[in-house]
Amino acid sequence: MVDEVFWNDFSSPTGYERRTACGAPIAIGNNCAGFSMMHEMQSFDSQQLSETVPATPPPSSPSAPPRRSLLYRIFVGPRGVRAGWKVPIFFLLFVLAVFALRPLTKLHGEVDPKQPMPAGVALLGESTGALAILIATTVMAKWIDRKPWGYFGMPIRNAFRSSFWIGSGSGLGALALQLEIMHLGGWFNFGSPELHGGAILRYGAIWALMFFFTGVTEEGLLRGYVQRVTSDGLSGLRGGWSFWISALIFSFVFGAGHLSNPGENRLGIFMVFVDGMTMCFSLWRTGDLWFAIGNHAAWDWGQTFLFGTPDSGFIGQHALMRSSFHGPLLLSGGSDGPEGSVLVLLSEAIFFVAVAVIYRRRRFPLITDAHSSEEAALPQ
């Protein structure tokens, strides 16, 4: 019995040949029957699989954002509604809220604006103003900006904490120092007490609450929401220019808003502008408005109740002291009160130095801070 041995002969013109042990070639060609059958079975299986399993679609490339209309781009920017529209919307909401709350201010009846203002009437009027600020800021923060309340300068968690009391102490202390200098110069007389006993506590508390609402209203109106969104809207400017240009604009508005006060003079108006810039500096360093609110409230409370002086021309009833002014208008302030005296520059300097010494670095967040952090985190 002879065994057959199969091997490949690549020199054969037909490619593959089968030989027996005796060496007799048996040509099977390039495509033998076995390979042909296997190829046909594989082709059949592949065809059947392609019919039963759907082909996976190629990944789609990200589509380009839809092109917005010109009208849309006028009102809406990369960060939502543009700041140039949000500021007037905020003021409009504030005015609407004031008119909606106006019936509450009529509960006290008619009041002669040329006469000293009763404490209860002033408290009712300022509380509605503060409530209007809270309403307008809340609406804008929640439905327009979609940011937390504290982002706009008055975080509730910081109310009545150290910044508020430091601001209050500096405000009352600077006023007392200024009036003492004016007294030594012969331009101011402290007078004598007009309230006694429980009346001191009662009216002192009413005026304190009233001027707290004044601080919330005036600081919240011009250094809260509008300062924040205008700074954000001008964030293309380098450094802190976005903040300080906004501060200049609304400090000017702050001064112009006092033009209608009875007894106000030109120097007093200018000093209101200076105070606005100083309080913006406190916002820049502390990160919120609580120093400014405390300072504003204590300064006004000291003028109107404690020392009984005019407050930007405003005079209140039931003051502890009834003081008087003498001498040149530039030094005494006249009907404008301590804010109309050139010596108020000393008080503003005290506020500035106190903030600069106690709060050594900026805490007001800028949009560019986040971009700078992202760039610093990138590999170099």
DSSP class of residue 144 equals: I
Average per-residue pLDDT in the chain?
84
Question: Residue type for 207, please?
Answer: W
Cβ neighbours of 272 (radius 10 Å): 24
Question: Which tokens belong to 249?
Answer: 């604009």
Question: Which tokens belong to 98?
Answer: 């004031």
DSSP class of residue 12 equals: S
SS3 195: coil
Question: Which tokens belong to 365?
Answer: 């967040």
Least confident of 167-176, 254-263, 327-336: 254-263
> In this predicted model, what pLDDT tens digit does every residue of 72-120 receive, in sequence order?
888 998 888 999 999 999 999 999 999 999 998 888 777 777 789 999 9
CA distances, 219 to each of 94, 222, 289 (Å): 14, 6, 7
**DSSP, residue by residue, 58-92:** PPPPPPPPPPPPHHHHHHEETTEE-HHHHHHHHHH
Q: Rounded mean pLDDT of 47-65? A: 52
pLDDT at residue 58 in the model? 56
pLDDT at residue 59 in the model? 55
Tell me which range, 35-44, 65-74, 88-97, is most confidently predicted by mean pLDDT: 88-97
